[in-house]
Amino acid sequence: VRYWLMKSEPDVYSIADLKKDGTTLWECVRNYQARNFMMNDMKPGDRVLFYHSNASPSAVAGLATVAGPAVPDPTQFQKAGEYFDPKASPAKPRWFCVPVRYEGRFQDPISLETLKDHPALTKMVLLNNSRLSVQPVTASEFQFILKLGKALKE
DNA sequence: GCCAACGTTGGC
DNA sequence: GCCAACGTTGGC
């Protein structure tokens, strides 16, 4: 099992939306590094920190699980959509995404400021490459953040 | 809303 | 293949 952090702006798609949906496809990622993680490295059962970016405060809001293998991102084929990619075709998809299942919300969301306070987390990708929306987290970082979040609520 | 950081595009 | 111009992310 590997550990990941996935960012979403809560105005666009929040942990509450994931709770409501149960499972969602992590669509619309248009960054090759993030895509490669989903396409090559994420496996069903991997655990995910759901991070609210561009929020007040930005924070790790909850937990999710990779629910299946990567599939072509359907939004790349939707001509009218914002995420249409003319260079992609169903025969040669360019963008992939994984389904993500809701696990829970933290009793205490862990703010970016709090994450920065802990020496155990200074090497987190989140704190060193602010632009990557799908990123690996080490097992120890993951466990440490679970403790900071204390408990999950429904 | 600003803007630093950094990824992407495209001319050469 | 370099790199300037441009676009996007995301904290503040």
Nucleotides of B strand lying within 7 Å of any protein CB atom: 5-8
Interatomic separation, CA of residue A90 and C1' of nucleotide C5, rounded (Å): 32
pLDDT value, residue A153: 66
Assess whether A130 (CB) lies less than 7 A from strand B: yes
pTM equals 0.94
Residue percentage of chain A with pLDDT more than 90: 85
A84 touches strand B (CB under 7 A): no
Q: Which residues contact A145 (CB under 8 A, 6 or more apart)?
A: A49, A60, A110, A115, A121, A137
C-beta of residue A26 within 8 angstroms of C-beta of residue A133: no
Q: How many CB atoms lie within 10 A of CB A36?
A: 14
pLDDT tens per residue, range A25-57? 999 999 999 999 999 999 999 999 999 999 999
Distance A154 CA to C9 C1' (A): 31
